[in-house]
Structure 1
Amino acid sequence: MFGKQKKLKKEMDQELLVRIRKMKYEWESLDTIIEQSIEPSEEGLNDLALVKAKYFYLLREARYRGINALS
């Protein structure tokens, strides 16, 4: 029974790491677009703030789980 729980935890941790990398890529992409824009739209700025908040939330979850997400 404990082996199954460890395997499930490991799978969830890997999924969390994948999501963190995806959010970081999205954040960097949107940030680049916003920086290159002459007059960024309000919607673009809101999307950037939302992706940034999601990214930091996932990082906090990784810290809570005791996994290193930045490597």
Structure 2
Amino acid sequence: MFRKKKIKKEVIDQELLHTIYQLKNEWTNLEDIMARSIEPSERGQFDLAVAKAKYFYLIREAKYRRISAGR
């Protein structure tokens, strides 16, 4: 019974790390696009802010769960 719970937590932790990496890539791509834009759109700025907020929220969640990529 306890082993099943531990495996489930490990799977969820790995999914969390994977999502963090995806959001980091999205954030850096959007930042790069915005930096090269002559006139960044409001929608682009909004998307960048949302991507940053999601990323930092998941980073806090990972710290709370005490997980890292080194595990």
TM-score range, shorter chain: over 0.9
Question: Please, what is the CA RMSD of the aligned residues?
Answer: 1.5
Is contact 1:59-1:69 (8 Å) kept?
A: no
Q: In the aligned structure 1, how far is the partner of 2:48 from the partner of 2:15?
A: 23
Q: Look up the match of 1:4.
A: 4
Q: Does 1:63 align with 2:63?
A: yes
Q: In the aligned structure 2, how far is the partner of 1:7 from the partner of 1:70?
A: 18
Q: Does 1:47 align with 2:50?
A: no
User: Please, what TM-score do these two structures have when normalized by structure 1?
Assistant: 0.95
Aligned length: 71
Letter in 1 for 2:29: S
Q: Does 1:16 align with 2:16?
A: yes
Mark the runs of 5 or more structure 2 residues left unpaired by the alignment: none
Q: 4+ residue runs of structure 1 moved beyond 2 angstroms?
A: none
Q: Look up the match of 1:36.
A: 36
Mark the runs of 5 or more structure 1 residues left unpaired by the alignment: none
User: Please, what TM-score do these two structures have when normalized by structure 2?
Assistant: 0.95
Per-residue deviation, residues 13-62 of structure 1 (Å, max 9, x unmatched) = 00000000000000000000000001100000000000000000010000
